[in-house]
Amino acid sequence: MEKLVGRVAESRLLQESFAANEAQLVAIYGRRRVGKTFLVRSVFANKILFEFSGAHHAGLKTQLANFSRELSKASGSAIPLAQPASWSEAFQQLANWLQPLLLKEKRLVFFDEFPWLDTSRSGFLSAFDYFWNTWAVKQKNLLLIICGSAASWMIKNIVHNKGGLHNRISYSIRLLPFTLSETEAYLKSRAIILDRYQIIQLYMAMGGIPHYLKNIHKGESAAQAIDRICFSKDGALREEFDKLYYSLFDEARAHLSIIRALAKRPKGLNRNEIIAASRLSSGGTTTLILKELEESGFITAYTPFQKAAKDALFKLTDEYSLFFLKYIENSRPAAGTWMRLSATASWRSWSGFAFEAICLKHTQALKVALGIAGVQTSESVWRDVSEDDGVQIDLLIDRADYCINLCEIKFSDTAYTITKSYAEALQKKKELFKRISKTRKTVFITMITSFGLVDNAHSVNTVDITVDVKGLFE
């Protein structure tokens, strides 16, 4: 079996839950292909007593037939179990089989794609609620793990359940994509050795999704891998986009309208701008959709400096979605497509926004690189439209030690050159920020770049701190 990479904190929580001297109910959620099932199977390779997965868009009868088949297989019975007529009967069968086995040792029961089992009028959730509260919770040797890609369903119905499962979750784990550092480690575990500039290019196209990264071949450059995986006729990520959203959201059309609106505005949109751009209503439905997209890891809300949560800017932060909508969707499958596109001015411009989004996801690594890992901070963006062209700061790190890092983010294939005009623009931006925000903190102009800065008078006199690509892998 492939070696588990990263997931240190998550593995520790799972091991702690298994070691507990009482029944444990653990919920794991995260987007499709992020590695939830692999995590559970890796940590508990020989301890899974029963595993069952929901089927997407299958009806009650099919789900129950699948359950019966898997329970018969797990029990090793020569005679198949009678198919249950309801989930109540199914959970009773499971309890009857588990009861004597759990007297001997601690074991794991694993339900994968749990939300897909809760089909219309199936009574699944109430039956599970009854199963857990009347029987399972009393079994000190039982660890029950439930997984789901539909993050919003998992949070609403399990993590924040207001009924019988309220406060019953021992641990809830939101499994996120790999960081850049974890992506590098994962590729190395597969004997794929690339420099960090190449890894960032891969990350721009497919993010830190293990199942996507698994398609990269040893000996390929980033450009070769992207060309094959995204632009060849049978490329693994060529047809992934619709599958991704429709597997998570039953009514994905509205979700996709927001995703498409945000893809056109990399600097972000506020709620009212999203409503106008995606032609949605201003009611609670839009709020719910935004929350679902955020919980599933596709978008991120950033509260501007000195503003309230209601003023949040939403950005599309799923790398694959950004890349698909910009390049894959309207391309024809042909070898060499990405080799051509990646040499254009359009890509150089777009890659700057993509690199900015990556930096915003790696603020903890940036704090380590800046030497402020132990300092309490809050991260935000800032924009002002009072000037003719408007002014936006990519990232502000507001520090408890009475300082602020005003971060400018630039992606290039060589050391970045600060020109006289750009130096003047940076100083103007800093002065405007201090005047409008009225902050009395020390403001450091901080450059985050691929390969550092060209050492000249403008960089020396303007920039206080520089972080290159190595800082994102801390």
Task: Tell me whether residue 404 is in a domain.
Answer: yes
pLDDT grade, residue 387 (50/70/90)?
A: low
Task: Tell me whether residue 1 is in a domain.
Answer: no
The whole-angstrom separation of Cα 180 and Cα 358 is 9
Q: What pLDDT is stored for residue 310 in this prediction?
A: 86
124 lies in the same domain as 51: yes
Q: Point out the domain boundary residue: 145, 174, 203.
A: 174
pLDDT grade, residue 466 (50/70/90)?
A: very high
CATH number for the domain including 312? Answer: 1.10.10.10
- pLDDT, mean over the chain: 93
> How many structural domains comprise the chain?
4
Enclosing domain of residue 271: 242-324
pTM tops 0.75: yes
pLDDT grade, residue 201 (50/70/90)?
A: very high
The whole-angstrom separation of Cα 414 and Cα 418 is 12
Average pLDDT over residues 406-413: 95
In the numeric block, the tokens 């106008």 are attached to: 276
59 lies in the same domain as 163: yes
8 Å CB contact between 198 and 222: yes
Average pLDDT over residues 461-473: 96
Evaluate if residue 145 carries a pLDDT over 90.
yes
202 lies in the same domain as 346: yes
Dihedral, 251, 253, 255, 259 alpha carbons, nearest 10:
160
Instruction: Dump pLDDT digits (tens) for 237-274.
Output: 999 999 999 988 878 999 999 999 999 998 899 999 99
217 lies in the same domain as 340: yes
Residues whose CB falls within 8 Å of the CB of residue 278, separated by 6 or more in sequence, listed in order: 254, 257, 258, 260, 261
Task: Tell me whether residue 299 is in a domain.
Answer: yes
Q: What pLDDT is stored for residue 319 in this prediction?
A: 96
149 lies in the same domain as 18: yes
Average pLDDT over residues 364-380: 95
Instruction: Dump pLDDT digits (tens) for 53-69.
Output: 999 989 999 999 999 99
pLDDT grade, residue 390 (50/70/90)?
A: low
Average pLDDT over residues 435-457: 96
Full DSSP string of 217-263: PTT--HHHHHHHHHHSTT-TTTSHHHHHHHTT-TTHHHHHHHHHHHH
168 lies in the same domain as 302: no
153 lies in the same domain as 30: yes
300 lies in the same domain as 344: no
pLDDT grade, residue 80 (50/70/90)?
A: confident
Secondary structure tally for the chain: helices H, strands E: 20, 12
Angle at 336 between CA 334 and CA 337, to 5 degrees: 65
431 lies in the same domain as 311: no
294 lies in the same domain as 428: no
Evaluate if residue 1 carries a pLDDT over 70.
no
Task: Tell me whether residue 291 is in a domain.
Answer: yes
234 lies in the same domain as 256: no
CATH number for the domain including 407? Answer: 3.40.1350
Task: Tell me whether residue 3 is in a domain.
Answer: no
127 lies in the same domain as 90: yes
